[in-house]
Amino acid sequence: MNPRPSVVIVGAGIAGLAAAWELTGARDGPNESTPRVELIESSDHVGGALLSADFAGRVLDLGPDGFLARRPEAVTLAREVGLEEQLVPIAASGASIFLKGAVEELPTGLVLGVPTNAKAIKAMKGLSWSSRWSAWRDEHAPKKLKVTDDVSIGTILRAKLGGELTYQLIEPMVGGIQAGRLDELSAAAVFPALYEAAQRGGSLMKALRTGAEAHSGPTAERVLGPLFMSLRGGVASLAEELARQLVERGVVVRTGTEVTALRPTPSGIYPWEVDTADTATSASAIILATPAPTAGRLTNALDDALNALASINSAGAAMITFVFVTADTSLPPTGTGVLIPLATEWDDDIMMTTAITFLDRKWEHLRRDGEILLRAHVGRIDDRRSEILSDDALIERVLREITTVLGRVGTPKAARVQRWPQGLPQYYVGHEQLVARARHALSPYAIRLAGSAYDGVGIPASIGSGRRAARDVVTLLNAAATA
């Protein structure tokens, strides 16, 4: 009789949890062929950035407060673990931007900040005549640009739409999502619609508009559902419920434990051992759902190509959440927040705040009478100023900045800082090729990569990455069992 297969998952963020869920039968649950599964996490909690805390009478997500709902992975997983009744749609839409000292409403029809017609930005006072001319020119006499291999998002946008639209209007949205710089981020990996539009030639905006029209407007809302969703108990409740059910299924979950090495054991029943400071766990297969540099450190002895995983940097960021008295605070009349371009001058310095989110406009379950729940975002890959400030100093600085943007916010009733020193992996030019080479190098071994460093930084992408890695491992185990 063959021994029961053993799978070790290193990293218990949402990708690792999703992998464990898939390995243990997903919605159907374990059966006689289910492998032994062990999750090993170096931090003191599971879920990674999906973390929550009690704050001002609410359960507050300390990481992402929602997820893209038109990608199915997060919604599907929430339903599978029994949280369907907890799903809530976003309660507001639209946003504003801070340009030349004033808050302006963003026009509709943007695709990740990129306008899809010149008329949309014609009335924006914070944009110069020359930037509006650049948009008109792209529609009527577009500049030529030959794109074959991967290039940066900034390379495409600057060539087609000019520097002002690129850095003042578009960068605050797409660069903010990644906490990176447009001139470094891969168009193919981060913004494939833009990459494909540039490859077609002609008007960039028209090409993007063609794709956007197929997925926008009342029909799309009715057919596809809301663009974003959250959970009444917080996004972190998805990770918490997953972990609870995985333990019920017999999964071993170890936190506060760092994996020190992966060792091949060719003479043993199991081909691998996963070492920690005081244990060695036998494994038929391994899923690495860690930051990419950690995965590289654990595997680089297998193939030199795996050293490149160390080049996938992560941007640090911090979020400062405030509660204000409604009567003392002025906000734009509509929208879920305000974007702030990089290099926005402020008080003989440059603003640290890159965006302001009105959390209780987005999510009805966070609303309280007489209060406003507001979150400021700071930090980019090359702006680590917040890291040298204490929490109190950061709160004071950000409060002054958001007062400049909004005009009046009053005295906060409560404030909380959450820091994510390694929050968002950076997908530089050539990212897809780097990841493909790493996965090819691991293909002879029963080791698979999963997580936000490889297949997309959002929650749905991470869940999908983890589940695909698990299905691949199941295929390997089945092949080994029949060999």
pLDDT tens-digit profile, the chain (483 residues) = 578 999 999 999 999 999 999 999 999 999 999 999 999 999 999 999 999 999 999 999 999 999 999 899 999 999 999 999 999 999 998 999 999 999 999 998 899 999 999 998 998 999 999 999 999 999 999 999 999 899 999 999 999 999 999 999 999 999 888 899 999 999 999 999 999 999 999 999 999 998 655 444 444 444 456 789 999 999 999 999 999 999 999 999 999 999 999 999 987 789 999 999 999 999 999 999 999 999 999 999 999 999 999 999 999 999 999 999 999 999 999 999 999 999 999 999 999 999 999 999 999 999 999 999 999 999 999 899 999 999 999 999 999 999 999 999 999 999 999 999 988 999 999 999 999 999 999 999 999 999 999 999 999 999 999 999 999 999 999 988 886
E strand or H helix that includes residue 338 = strand 337-339
For 35, what's the count of Cα atoms within 13 Å in the CB-facing half-sphere? 29
448 & 307 share domain: yes
267 & 403 share domain: no
* CATH code of the domain in which 270 resides: 3.50.50.60
Q: What is the DSSP string of 59-114?
A: EEESS-S-EESSSHHHHHHHHHTT-GGGEEE------EEEETTEEEEPPS--BTTB
304 & 444 share domain: yes
Scored b (16 or more CB within 10 A) or e, 287-314 reads bbbbbbbbbbbbbbeebebbebbeebbb
DSSP state of 229: E
Residue 72 lies in a domain: no
Round to whole Å and give the CA distance between 356 and 337. Answer: 5
pTM of the model: 0.94
Round to whole Å and give the CA distance between 463 and 365. Answer: 24
354 & 379 share domain: yes
Which of 3, 4, 9, 73 shows the shortest CA–CA distance to 246? 9
Domain holding 129, by residue range, is: 110-215
Are the beta carbons of 469 and 449 closer than 8 angstroms?
yes
Structurally, the chain folds into a number of domains equal to: 3
* CATH code of the domain in which 118 resides: 1.10.3110.10
